[in-house]
Amino acid sequence: MIKIISGYTGPGGSTVSFSNLTNLFNDNGLETCFYGPHVWDGIKCNFGTLDKFQPTEDDIVIYHYLKVTSDLPCKKAILSCHETGLFKIKEMAGLHYDAAHFVSTFQRDWQGVEGTVIPNVLTKFQKNSKEGKPRVAGIIGSIDENKCVPMSVKRALADGHDDIRIYGSATQPNYFFQQIIPLLSNKVSYRGIADDMQEIYDTLTDVYHSPRLETYNLIKPECEAAGVIYHGDEGNDTQAEYWDDQRIFEAWKNLLLV
């Protein structure tokens, strides 16, 4: 069995990506379960809390956002890293893993650690017509200094939007109260954490995105799939690739079995 475990399973791109990967494995005949400390309705796969995670010598374990410094009782341990500055592998002495996985070449090079690059599995959104609908701008993602939400709001206002909706988890509460609360007005609202992004994309015509550094931009292809105009201003080029599910599965199968 394949057991994927993460130190963070709350709202966010990595959680969605692992949920999608779990489904991809199961759909292709590889029994898989995703484990973590946070139970979130946005997880749409076979999921278990940490107390259910009990690896055996026949299992393959993929671990994320955890400092594993001893051998796991399993057939193979794979470190799956989705981060740059939040999880600096070189600064974590004694990590135990048999192979490392990264989501982009940029990220692997930034970490400076040997590993296999396999992009994230994208959520399959339906494209619904926006014809005749009022203009609604969305700002999506974790709310922290890196995402530069005030910049996105400024850009949306400059483009003439008068209905701007902010969605995401306030991962830095002080930042939220100091930088986001003052932005709220009759034109700008905070809508909380979304569990069903299809519902959200159906209401939006535009999305603004202004991060300082994005390890793997999920929002851009999601907008394209959902028929929403993407206004990106990443300030960097991570050269992320977007593969179809079959190519992703074959790459993972090779990494799992070699």
Rounded Cα distance, 102 and 116, in Å: 6
Q: Whose structure tokens read 């955890």? A: 66
- pLDDT (tens digit, 9 = 90+) per residue, 212-242? 888 888 899 999 999 999 998 665 556 678 9
Of 251, 239, 240, 257, the closest CA to residue 101 belongs to: 251
CA angle centred on 199, ends 218 and 152, rounded to 5°: 50
Tokens of 25: 């494995």
Q: Could you tell me the end-to-end alpha-carbon distance of the chain, in angstroms, rounded to an integer?
A: 16
Q: What size, in residues, is the chain?
A: 258
**Which one-letter DSSP state was computed for residue 178?**
I
**Mean of the per-residue pLDDT values of the chain:** 94
**Which residues are CB-neighbours of 177 under 8 A, at least 6 positions away?**
none
Residue 128 lies in a domain: no
* Whether residue 251 is found in the same domain as residue 192: no
Same structural domain, 171 and 211: yes
Work out the pLDDT band at 138, boundaries 50, 70, 90: very high
- 40 with 26: CB under 8 angstroms? no
Query: Same structural domain for residues 99 and 7?
Result: yes
pLDDT at 119 over 60: yes
Do 13 and 106 share a domain, yes or no?
Answer: yes
According to the model, what pLDDT value does residue 210 have?
Answer: 92
| Distance (Å, whole) CA 105 – CA 166 | 30
pTM above 0.75, yes or no: yes
**7 and 115 fall within a common domain:** yes
CA pair distance 153, 143, nearest whole angstrom? 12
Q: Are residues 45 and 89 in the same domain?
A: yes
Distance from C-alpha of 38 to C-alpha of 118, rounded to nearest angstrom? 25
Supply the DSSP symbol for 121. Answer: P
Q: Whole-angstrom Cα distance, residue 78 to residue 64?
A: 9
Domain count, the chain: 2
Instruction: Confirm if 236 and 224 have CB atoms less than 8 A apart.
Output: no
Rounded Cα–Cα distance for residues 60 and 41 (Å): 26
> Do residues 39 and 93 share a domain?
yes
Three-state SS for 256?
helix
Residue 130 counted as domain residue: no
Q: What is the pLDDT of residues 3-62, one digit of tens each?
A: 999 999 999 899 999 999 999 999 999 999 999 999 999 999 999 999 999 999 999 999
In a domain, 249, yes or no: yes
Q: Residue 68 belongs to what domain range?
A: 2-121+242-257
Any domain includes 112:
yes
Determine, yes or no, domain membership for 110.
yes
Identify the residue whose tokens are 């990506």.
17
Tokens, residue 95: 């990590």
In-domain check, residue 205: yes
Spatial contact of 219 and 193, defined as CB atoms under 8 Å apart: no
Whether residue 153 sits in one domain with residue 115: no
Q: Which domain CATH number covers 109?
A: 3.40.50.2000
Residue type, 31: E
Is residue 126 domain-resident?
no
- Based on the fold, state whether residues 108 and 179 are members of the same structural domain: no
Residue 235 has what pLDDT? 57
Is residue 129 assigned to a domain?
A: no
- Phi and psi at 110, nearest 5°, equal -65, -45
In this structure, are 32 and 95 located in the same domain? Answer: yes
